[in-house]
Structure 1
Amino acid sequence: MSHLFLLSPSPWIKGSLISITPGYVSAWIIPDGIAGDLDSVNPSAIFNMQGVIGFKTPFLETSKAFRRFKLKFRRRFVFEFPEEENINPSSFVLQSYNATWEVAQAAEESQGKLTLEQLLKSKISMNKKLRQSSTLSIINVVGKSYRELASWSPASGFSKTLVTEQMTEMNTNSASSGVLSTVYWPGGIQFFPKGWTHNTKERTLQIGVPANGAFTDFVNVEYDIKRNKTSFTGFSIDVFKAAVQSLPYNLNFSFVPFDGSSDEMVGQVYNKVCLDIVCRCGDTSIMAYRYHLVDFSQPYVESGIDMVVTEQSAKSKETWLFLEVFTKETWLMMAALHILVGLVIWLIERQVNAELREFGSMLWFLVTVIFFAQREQIRSPLTRIVLAPWLFVILIATSTFTASLTSMMTVSQLEPSVLDIQTILKRNFVVGCNGNSFILKYLTEVQKFKPENIRKINSINDYPDAFWNKDIEADFFIAPHAKVFLAKYSCRGLIKAGKTFRLGGLGFLGISPFILTIL
């Protein structure tokens, strides 16, 4: 277990305050009332407090008043208690001295007639010579004393140096003269205590992993006979490990293979058939009917159901393929500009050219000029100025049209052989899906497929053969699986068709309290 202990300053026991047990991760925090007394405790108490973190209110130890008081105190203390090893004044001594000094000053001002009522009404200010700093020092007990990790002040917050202009030196009893940010934890552990965790002596949580997954890119379970060891790899495994590492506590777990479908795992976890398995790590889809039995983490991948079919040539588009060279807007713009140019030429030439005086002749001229086959002569210089740039535009447009149309006719136009799920149902086609997936239940109960029209395929490598042998006309995957499948086999004439039926995504399921932490 990993625990955080906050100690009260009363009572202050100078004996064995902390007992460190091997394998027991803990963090101890002491307040100013205890930390301020560290300067005067014996070495045995310091030895038992290794790794403790405390908050200490420092005094301005560089002032002449403090040095003079410290010297007098040590002489007097050694004289009365010669057996004590630590002779430095603690914070309680300094506070008592301050309080006594202020009361004495108040009594002097009242000429020796100081009453309790007068004392409460008087304005007592701290002795400026021995006043406390408003900065809190964060200390860490190491070795024979302690060292300062950082400081905190109401104005500046946390800092690695004391936020006080007058305080220029560190505590003379500090184990280090520099400000250290590395914390020494109880027991000398080399990691940051995260909080709650399982003790190494306690039961390790077992995480079920599907041993017969169809897509090994997500979950892959392999057994090494020579090493007698089972390895667990894949995208889902990596995500789970990263999620566990981000938890605010350490979690001892181990993967165990599980032979069965996701729904079987949900039922066994809910009914506590597998008492040791508290979670399932894999490409499990979050479904509403599963929520009644187990908890789910937040989805780590968006999901849905996609349909994959074979490709076929788009013959219906070949007749009007030339119209797809330019967009509809481009065709309309070019036609309008061509008519406008022809109208301008007709208005100019009708005055001087008898061949273009009729409007019908002008329309024929517009047709022949596209193919640079016009026979009518141009009489007016203004007409040549208008026609020359337009002929250049026609040349560019015809060259682009020819090149684009040639490319489109060379590259075959493909489309899905089946456009949507309604077509499959209407034609009574046979489809495939993962036999261990919820998709089988989805197709029969939601989409109303006949069970005899659904073929169970449990390996990603068997899907292409099922298509080429005409055993199936379409196959249904969850969206992440479909992307992986098409990335591997899209070159073999397979394509996604229809819309995606949205789901809750992929997540981790279980009933253990740690699942709720990943939420």
Structure 2
Amino acid sequence: MKDKCFLSLFSWFLIVSVVLLQAPTGNGSNGGLKNGEITLRVRVPMRDGFPQFVKVVWDPSQQKYNVFGYCMDVFNAVLTYLPFNVSIHIVPIDVESSKISGRHPILKQISHKMMKEKNEVVVGDVTILAYRSELVDFTVPYTVSGVKMVVPVKHGRDQNMWTFVLKSCSRFVLMVWLLLALLLMQSYTANLTSILTLDQLQPSFLNFDPSKLRPYRNIGEYHDALKLGSKNGGVAAIFDEVPYLKLYLQEYGSNYIMSGSEYRNAGFGFVFPLNSNLTAYFSRGILNVMESGLMNEIDEKYFGKSDIGEDSSAETSSSPLSLSFHSFSGLFFISGIAILLALLVSERFIWQRLILMAKALSERRLLVRQWQQLAEVWRQDDAVLDSNFEG
């Protein structure tokens, strides 16, 4: 009996211990939950480039910071799936004035502070990397990322008035069409449409010298550098993580395309102190946001439709060029010449026929005149005979 009581008490002790370890309680690494609510210090990086991901704005009327952008929208969506309430306190981090080099020096800056203040999280475009996981804890990634290259595109062929006769097959079809236009109209139209509308794209630059790499911070600098080109002080290609390139292609996608192999990484994640149980709660919240479809809505809000300029292996553009009068001007020119020649030939035969008709008419008039003259002579002879007979 005593053994059973001892085992029961020991079992309850284990259950309570597990619950206490998994729940965010106390002031330790579990988060400081009090009465079903936790106060969380949210550190947000401030920098000039890519405000679409995170942007910190000071509100003088309320005397507080407001945060906007893709990362903050995902964070707010995750908060709705947590089993407890969270009140946040925004703490901006001035990344631009940091003396530590690199795009994301914030982890080296504040990792030691986060070990002291356990109720903290970093919300921003922070990529999950192996060496960073030794300093802090990451949630599961809320966006897929990788490093790719964006290059200007050049069209496979120039769209001019002679596009439809570029290939030998098109020339053959054109000659046959000139002879049998009515019979081959449908076949030629389909072939011509595919040539004019399906614009084959290829990168205008495929190799680079690593010694010529240059750092840029925002979309505007990307565009200016690519527009100038490597020969005019710019660059021939941009290497960056896929989320940043998606933002760039969202604005300038008609002239650029992702190319080359993708060097995958884990993606963006929220940052917590080491051994924080809040990491598990926020990771489950991210999974719930993804499964609910809300993540797709947030992605479309900032990146537009998926797969913008991503399919570098595709031979054709997702937005084919539209047909215009100029596209068919060469065809109209040849058709006009053919019609003009036909008219000239027909006019020649018409004039010949008119001349023959005029000659025939003139001969007929001459014959009529001769008959008239002969009849007049006959009348005169008859008159003379009549006068002689009377005399």
Instruction: Label 1:311 to 1:246 Cα distance change in 2 as closer, same or farther (>3 A).
Output: same
Query: How far did residue 304 of structure 1 move?
Result: 0.9
Among candidates 266, 280, 289, match of residue 107 of structure 2: 266
Are the counterparts in 2 of residues 269 and 278 from structure 1 also a CA contact under 8 Å? no
Q: Distance in 1 between matches of 2:169 and 2:240?
A: 33
Residue 494 in structure 1 maps to residue 256 in structure 2: yes
Q: Distance in 2 between matches of 1:368 and 1:458?
A: 52
Instruction: Label 1:320 to 1:293 Cα distance change in 2 as closer, same or farther (>3 A).
Output: farther
Q: State the Cα deviation string for residues 118-164 of structure 1 (Å, max 9, x = none).
A: xxxxxxxxxxxxxxxxxxxxxxxxxxxxxxxxxxxxxxxxxxxxxxx
Among candidates 473, 479, 491, match of residue 242 of structure 2: 479
Q: State the Cα deviation string for residues 80-107 of structure 1 (Å, max 9, x = none).
A: xxxxxxxxxxxxxxxxxxxxxxxxxxxx
| Partner amino acid, structure 2, of 1:239 | V
Give the count of matched residue pairs. Answer: 238
Match of 2:228 in 1: 469
Residue 503 in structure 1 maps to residue 290 in structure 2: no
| Partner amino acid, structure 1, of 2:203 | P
Match of 1:279 in 2: 121
Query: How far did residue 505 of structure 1 move?
Result: 1.6
TM alignment of 1:194-209, pairs within 5 A: 198-199=33-34, 204-209=39-44
SS at match of 2:225: helix
Match of 1:456 in 2: 215
Residue 314 in structure 1 maps to residue 314 in structure 2: no
Q: Distance in 2 between matches of 1:300 and 1:368?
A: 55
Q: State the Cα deviation string for residues 331-364 of structure 1 (Å, max 9, x = none).
A: xxxxxxxxxxxxxxxxxxxxxxxxxxxxxxxxxx
Match of 1:111 in 2: none
Residue 516 in structure 1 maps to residue 277 in structure 2: no
Match of 1:229 in 2: 64
Query: How far did residue 234 of structure 1 move?
Result: 0.9
Instruction: Label 1:416 to 1:287 Cα distance change in 2 as closer, same or farther (>3 A).
Output: same
Are the counterparts in 2 of residues 198 and 251 from structure 1 also a CA contact under 8 Å? no
SS at match of 1:282: coil
| Partner amino acid, structure 2, of 1:466 | A
Q: Distance in 1 between matches of 2:174 and 2:224?
A: 56
Query: How far did residue 213 of structure 1 move?
Result: 5.5
Q: State the Cα deviation string for residues 276-316 of structure 1 (Å, max 9, x = none).
A: 47221112111122122211111111111121112224359
Q: Distance in 2 between matches of 1:319 and 1:368?
A: 8
Q: Which runs of 5 or more structure 1 residues have no equivalent in the other structure? A: 1-193, 326-366, 375-390, 429-448
SS at match of 1:476: strand
TM alignment of 1:18-29, pairs within 5 A: none
Are the counterparts in 2 of residues 214 and 458 from structure 1 also a CA contact under 8 Å? yes
Instruction: Label 1:460 to 1:324 Cα distance change in 2 as closer, same or farther (>3 A).
Output: farther
Q: Distance in 1 between matches of 2:87 and 2:174?
A: 84
Residue 242 in structure 1 maps to residue 32 in structure 2: no
Query: How far did residue 248 of structure 1 move?
Result: 1.5
Match of 1:293 in 2: 135
Residue 416 in structure 1 maps to residue 203 in structure 2: yes
Q: Distance in 2 between matches of 1:309 and 1:293?
A: 35
Are the counterparts in 1 of residues 154 and 201 from structure 2 also a CA contact under 8 Å? yes
Are the counterparts in 2 of residues 270 and 293 from structure 1 also a CA contact under 8 Å? yes
Are the counterparts in 2 of residues 206 and 254 from structure 1 also a CA contact under 8 Å? yes
SS at match of 1:214: coil
Instruction: Label 1:314 to 1:246 Cα distance change in 2 as closer, same or farther (>3 A).
Output: same
| Partner amino acid, structure 2, of 1:488 | E
Are the counterparts in 1 of residues 38 and 85 from structure 2 also a CA contact under 8 Å? no
Are the counterparts in 2 of residues 303 and 506 from structure 1 also a CA contact under 8 Å? yes
Match of 2:4 in 1: none
Q: State the Cα deviation string for residues 148-191 of structure 1 (Å, max 9, x = none).
A: xxxxxxxxxxxxxxxxxxxxxxxxxxxxxxxxxxxxxxxxxxxx
Q: Distance in 2 between matches of 1:207 and 1:372?
A: 73
Query: How far did residue 372 of structure 1 move?
Result: 7.9
Instruction: Label 1:323 to 1:300 Cα distance change in 2 as closer, same or farther (>3 A).
Output: farther
TM alignment of 1:145-224, pairs within 5 A: 198-199=33-34, 204-212=39-47, 214-224=49-59
Query: How far did residue 252 of structure 1 move?
Result: 2.9
Query: How far did residue 263 of structure 1 move?
Result: 4.1
Query: How far did residue 396 of structure 1 move?
Result: 2.6
Q: Which runs of 5 or more structure 2 residues have no equivalent in the other structure? A: 1-22, 26-31, 96-101, 284-391
SS at match of 2:258: strand
* Higher RCO (CA 8 Å, separation ≥ 6 residues): 2
- Percent of pairs with identical residues: 28
Aligned Cα root-mean-square deviation (Å): 3.9
Among candidates 85, 89, 96, match of residue 254 of structure 1: 89
Match of 1:401 in 2: 191
Query: How far did residue 392 of structure 1 move?
Result: 7.8
Q: Distance in 2 between matches of 1:320 and 1:503?
A: 47
Instruction: Label 1:307 to 1:369 Cα distance change in 2 as closer, same or farther (>3 A).
Output: closer
Instruction: Label 1:223 to 1:460 Cα distance change in 2 as closer, same or farther (>3 A).
Output: farther
Q: Distance in 2 between matches of 1:473 and 1:488?
A: 18
| Partner amino acid, structure 2, of 1:461 | G
Query: How far did residue 269 of structure 1 move?
Result: 3.7
Q: Distance in 2 between matches of 1:204 and 1:503?
A: 31
Q: Distance in 2 between matches of 1:297 and 1:214?
A: 24
Are the counterparts in 2 of residues 205 and 254 from structure 1 also a CA contact under 8 Å? yes
Are the counterparts in 1 of residues 44 and 93 from structure 2 also a CA contact under 8 Å? yes
Are the counterparts in 2 of residues 311 and 416 from structure 1 also a CA contact under 8 Å? yes
Q: Distance in 1 between matches of 2:142 and 2:132?
A: 17
Query: How far did residue 370 of structure 1 move?
Result: 4.7
Query: How far did residue 371 of structure 1 move?
Result: 5.4
